[in-house]
């Protein structure tokens, strides 16, 4: 990078190179700033690096171009890593018996917010995949990430001594 300003957003369309947005990585950063435990923060830092790679992969069309060859790709190993994180944190939580309202301590609320942004990103990737070929591991990664963010939100509340708030449909 030679300079911070590119002028590509001067008409209100700031984006990653190739036109893709970076909202999910930003909200994961907000969750990290909300003060999760060091263990959760370490997972989120790794996720942010993966999301940067994922954004670059989506923003580099034509997977056979020289630029695309240099971009790290979403892999089954990265998806499996998310699943291992989900299993590790979920094993420490009480079993879910009802729907949980988003919220709790600031870190948990931020993680719930990040989860909703991940779900929106997932829907956008599905729409993109209907128009052009994408690496199927990208969609799997974002799907598992939203699951991980939910589990991490519950773990953040548990770590702070705050129980999940169950949804009460008759309120």
Q: pLDDT per residue over 50-80, tens digit each?
A: 999 999 888 876 656 676 778 889 999 999 9
6 part of a folded domain: no
Residue 29 vs residue 11, higher pLDDT: 29
106 part of a folded domain: yes
Residue 91 maps to which CATH number? 1.20.1200.10
170 part of a folded domain: no
Asked whether the beta carbons of 29 and 144 are under 8 A apart, the reply is: no
Digit-coded pLDDT (tens) for 98-132: 999 999 999 999 999 999 999 999 999 999 999 98
Q: Which residues pair with 166 in a beta bridge?
A: 100
* Tokens 């989120």 found at: 44
Neighbours of 108 (CB within 10 A): 27
7 part of a folded domain: no
Confidence of residue 25 (pLDDT cuts 50, 70, 90): very high
Structural domain for 94, as ranges: 23-159
Any idea what DSSP says for residue 100? B
Asked whether the beta carbons of 47 and 111 are under 8 A apart, the reply is: no
User: Which one, of 74, 90, 79, 91, lies nearest residue 134 by Cα?
Assistant: 74
**Mean pLDDT confidence for 82-93:** 98
18 part of a folded domain: no
Structurally, the chain folds into a number of domains equal to 1
pTM: 0.86
**Mean pLDDT confidence for 1-21:** 47
What is the C-alpha to C-alpha distance for residues 152 and 28, in angstroms, rounded to an integer?
A: 12
Quote the pLDDT of residue 5.
46
53 part of a folded domain: yes
What mean pLDDT value characterizes the chain?
A: 87
What is the C-alpha to C-alpha distance for residues 37 and 35, in angstroms, rounded to an integer?
A: 7
141 part of a folded domain: yes
79 part of a folded domain: yes
Residue 43 φ then ψ, to 5°? -65, -45
Q: Which residues pair with 100 in a beta bridge?
A: 166
Any idea what DSSP says for residue 167? P
Coil/strand/helix, residue 128: helix
Return the percent helix, strand and coil in the chain, to nearest 5: 60, 0, 40
């Amino acid at each position: 990078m030679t300079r911070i300003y590119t002028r590509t957003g001067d008409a209100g369309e700031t984006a990653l190179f190739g036109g893709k947005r970076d909202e999910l990585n930003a909200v994961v950063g907000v969750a990290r700033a909300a003060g999760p435990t060091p263990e959760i923060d370490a997972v989120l830092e790794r996720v942010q690096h993966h999301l940067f790679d994922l954004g670059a992969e989506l923003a580099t069309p034509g997977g056979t171009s020289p630029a695309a060859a240099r971009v790290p790709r979403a892999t089954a190993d990265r998806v499996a890593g998310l699943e291992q994180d989900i299993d590790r944190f979920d094993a420490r939580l009480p079993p879910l018996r009802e729907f949980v309202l988003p919220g709790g301590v600031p870190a948990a609320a931020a993680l719930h917010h990040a989860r909703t942004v991940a779900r929106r990103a997932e829907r956008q990737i599905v729409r993109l995949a209907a128009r052009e070929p994408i690496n199927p591991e990208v969609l799997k990664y974002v799907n598992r990430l939203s699951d991980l963010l939910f589990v991490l939100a519950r773990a953040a509340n548990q770590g702070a001594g705050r129980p999940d708030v169950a949804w009460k449909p008759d309120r």
